[in-house]
Structure 1
Amino acid sequence: MSLSACGAGAQTSTGSAEKLAAAPSADRLAGICPKTVVLQIDWEPEAEHGPLYNLVGPGYTVDTDKKRVTGPLVIDGQDTGVKIEVRAGGSAIGYQSVASQMYVDKSITLGTVTTDDAIVAAAKQPVTAVAALMKKSPQMLMWDPKTHPDWKTIADIGKSDVKVVTSEGATYAELLVDKGLINKGQIDTSYDGSPSRFVSDPAIAMQGFATAEPYIYEHEINSWGKPVKYQLLSDVGYSVYPEAISVRSGELTKLSPCLKKLVPIIQKSTADYAADPGRALDLVNDLVTQYNTGWVYSKNTGVYAAEEMVKLGVLGNEADGSVGGFDMARVKSSLTTFKPLITSSGATVPAALTADKLATNQFIDTSIGMKTS
């Protein structure tokens, strides 16, 4: 894609928003939502955020300094009348949590916050999820099948004394210990995202995403170049909604007229992305290149991830056939499970916190779902 300069730190795609048809009145957001809906993502551009990048229409502008993309907010190729700005997380926000960033910068309309992170934030930075970006977490623990041919599940890892390399503060690690699946002495919180530890010591188990590492390790890490095995954490009780699309809880009522129209548009975008992720993946690839943060994410990895999200049920309909909604029993279960784990670590969780403060289905259109074969 050829690009033309547009001021310091910004570039513009060659597409033109002027050619966009106006969306029908049901999908028109002008005068109801902010003129620019600002969406804070938790990490660098990747396929897991595809339903959100899918909302960015042609004629978008990329701010390479602040790591943001802004364009017309579109659905079905039509202009809703407002803009959307998707902001990268990770290094772009100093590795702060999205909830904390939402309270530092009140220009943010929505942010992606995982259920356990929302519980952690509830005391000082409460957020309420209004749509589920993904149905279940793609996080996993992986291992080398050649070194451990007898391992089939995470419980098998716990029967050994090998190190389990995770990120510091990972709530799911405490969950695995609490459930007796992993011994506390096995947890090694030195995970830094680099493959070098696993490649040099294939005896360990390590965290990762089932939508990325299996492909990357087999096809893109020359020093490895073979399959890995894994089990999803969602299979063993990590029942969170990952990176759920959330608002500051105190602004839920104020934003309700906007959310009533915007959330179904996000649902449609999710269903569209699951069926045809190509356009969103092109944008992800463009942003990875332009941001140039050192984040390595190939287009092939993105294609793999989008396919695996559907295959594994990471993207999927809830029991009522709709996409983007919450099983509130699961949200309640997550609160029951993680509250004591979080408080035992020294954090404060409000005694009055309930599942309906963490998530709501009030804006979900139950008629919108992914097509199933």
Structure 2
Amino acid sequence: QLDWFPEAEYSALYGLIGDGYTIDQENMTVTGPLVDGDQDTGIELSLRSGGPAVGYSPPRVVMYADDSIHLGLANTDSSAKSFDDLPLVAVMAPLEKNPQMIMWDPEVYPDVSTLADLGTAGIEINLSGSTTFADTFVARGIWSADQINPSYDGSPARFIAEGNIAQQGFASSEPYNYEKVFEEFGKPVAYQLLHDAGYPAYSQVISVKPSDLDELKPCLERFVPIVQRSVLATAANPDQAIATIVDAVETFDSMWVYDAEIGRYAVDTMTKLGIISNGDDETVGNFDRDRLATIVDLLREAELPVPDDLNLDDTFTNEFIDPAIGF
């Protein structure tokens, strides 16, 4: 279960689907043979769109409502907050860094280079509702609460018309769109990743319900290294994965629009920024326990709801990672 429509952030997953796949327009799924490079594993893989396709329910909610779903994506900060009610165990991180960022117009604010600078300058930050990361920045004094405007609805109109605000987005898409697609803006934006600003949550990690873990272990022992190899392969050559993504988006014929150009930009940018990369070691896809602990500490510092008895080691495992697979 994915958390949005097909896009290049999921290139390693769409790269697992071989020729002969089918697209279900009504349910917004892509189903086909699971491949490991050129080898057909004999297993069928189904990728289910998230976001509007499931009424904006987070994957964990969908997983607990539908036992036919074996795996889903989750962000590790949300998983910590929800562990008492809807626990998930993270088993692999296709992305090393969260591609989320905050952006601004560098012509308007030439002296701003970090999210901390936004706070110092008192610049309004337009966000989509109440966000966990913003609460932690306020708690640490990086931003002030009165800077945050939670009215962002995904439209570029206000950023373009006013020009003097900062706005949330993804490094894998908004910089391309504001320079190449939105002609009334038509220039580069400046931005900093949440990760690089001190919020190192893992995003869109492959997760499983704890109650399913033992049963799925034989599968995960094979599947996780296959995904690791797909991360390497699609970073080097994303064309097949992007073609499948674009085919799905066009077949779905929904409000979501995506083409090969932004897909290639996304993979190139994520690779350049270390969003797709190894961690601090030579392995791709594994978890750094200290990073996970940092996020829990930040959530608690901001007085956000984290179970008092949360055992961090219950929330993730590197058991299925092949440490020899990396860039």
- Same fold per TM (> 0.5)? yes
**Which runs of structure 2 are paired with 1:280-359 in the superposition (5 Å)?**
280-341=241-302, 344-345=303-304, 347=305, 349-359=306-316
> Which residue does the alignment assign to 1:364?
321
Q: Residue 276 of structure 2 aligns to a residue in which SS? A: coil
Runs of 5+ in structure 1 lacking a partner?
A: 1-39
What's the offset of the Cα at 1:215?
1.1
Answer with 105-114 or 162-171: which moved more: 162-171
- 1:123 equivalent to 2:84? Answer yes
* Residues 331 and 359 in structure 1, CA contact (< 8 A), matched pair in contact too: no
For 2:81 and 2:60, how far apart are their aligned partners in 1?
A: 10
For 1:320 and 1:151, how far apart are their aligned partners in 2?
A: 32
Q: Residue 353 of structure 1 aligns to a residue in which SS? A: coil
Change beyond 3 A, Cα 1:251–1:339: farther
* Residues 177 and 184 in structure 1, CA contact (< 8 A), matched pair in contact too: yes
* Residues 332 and 354 in structure 1, CA contact (< 8 A), matched pair in contact too: no
> Which one of 155, 168, 180 corresponds to residue 194 of structure 1?
155
**Structure of greater relative contact order (alpha carbons < 8 Å, 6+ residues apart):** 2
Q: Per-residue displacement from partner, 1:11-48 (whole Å, max 9, x unpaired)? A: xxxxxxxxxxxxxxxxxxxxxxxxxxxxx000111100
> Which one of 255, 278, 282 corresponds to residue 239 of structure 2?
278
RMSD of Structure 2 on Structure 1 (CA) = 1.2
For 1:263 and 1:161, how far apart are their aligned partners in 2?
A: 44
Q: Residue 258 of structure 2 aligns to a residue in which SS? A: coil
- 1:215 equivalent to 2:176? Answer yes
The amino acid of 2:271's aligned partner reads: V
Q: Residue 121 of structure 2 aligns to a residue in which SS? A: coil
Aligned residue pair count: 327
For 2:66 and 2:142, how far apart are their aligned partners in 1?
A: 39
Runs of 5+ in structure 2 lacking a partner?
A: none
- 1:142 equivalent to 2:103? Answer yes
Answer with 157-166 or 61-70: which moved more: 157-166
For 1:253 and 1:197, how far apart are their aligned partners in 2?
A: 49
Q: Per-residue displacement from partner, 1:62-106 (whole Å, max 9, x unpaired)? A: 000010000000111211111000000010010011111111111
> Which one of 251, 259, 265 corresponds to residue 212 of structure 2?
251
Report the TM-score when normalising by structure 2.
0.97
For 1:249 and 1:187, how far apart are their aligned partners in 2?
A: 36
> Which residue does the alignment assign to 1:95?
56
* Residues 172 and 238 in structure 1, CA contact (< 8 A), matched pair in contact too: yes
* Residues 114 and 197 in structure 2, CA contact (< 8 A), matched pair in contact too: no
**Which runs of structure 2 are paired with 1:46-195 in the superposition (5 Å)?**
46-195=7-156
Q: Percent identity?
A: 44
What's the offset of the Cα at 1:179?
1.9
The amino acid of 1:92's aligned partner reads: A
* Residues 81 and 307 in structure 2, CA contact (< 8 A), matched pair in contact too: no
* Residues 94 and 284 in structure 2, CA contact (< 8 A), matched pair in contact too: no
What's the offset of the Cα at 1:302?
0.7
> Which residue does the alignment assign to 1:24?
none
Q: Residue 307 of structure 1 aligns to a residue in which SS? A: helix
The amino acid of 2:142's aligned partner reads: L
The amino acid of 1:287's aligned partner reads: A
What's the offset of the Cα at 1:120?
2.1
Q: Per-residue displacement from partner, 1:328-369 (whole Å, max 9, x unpaired)? A: 11112212222443xx35x4x322212211111010000111
What's the offset of the Cα at 1:181?
1.4
Runs of 4+ displaced beyond 4 Å: none
The structure whose Rg is larger is 1
Q: Residue 69 of structure 1 aligns to a residue in which SS? A: strand
For 1:99 and 1:360, how far apart are their aligned partners in 2?
A: 17
Q: Per-residue displacement from partner, 1:263-297 (whole Å, max 9, x unpaired)? A: 11111111111111110011111111111211122
* Residues 177 and 183 in structure 1, CA contact (< 8 A), matched pair in contact too: yes
Q: Residue 126 of structure 1 aligns to a residue in which SS? A: coil
The amino acid of 2:148's aligned partner reads: I
For 2:199 and 2:67, how far apart are their aligned partners in 1?
A: 30
* Residues 264 and 365 in structure 1, CA contact (< 8 A), matched pair in contact too: yes
Report the TM-score when normalising by structure 1.
0.85
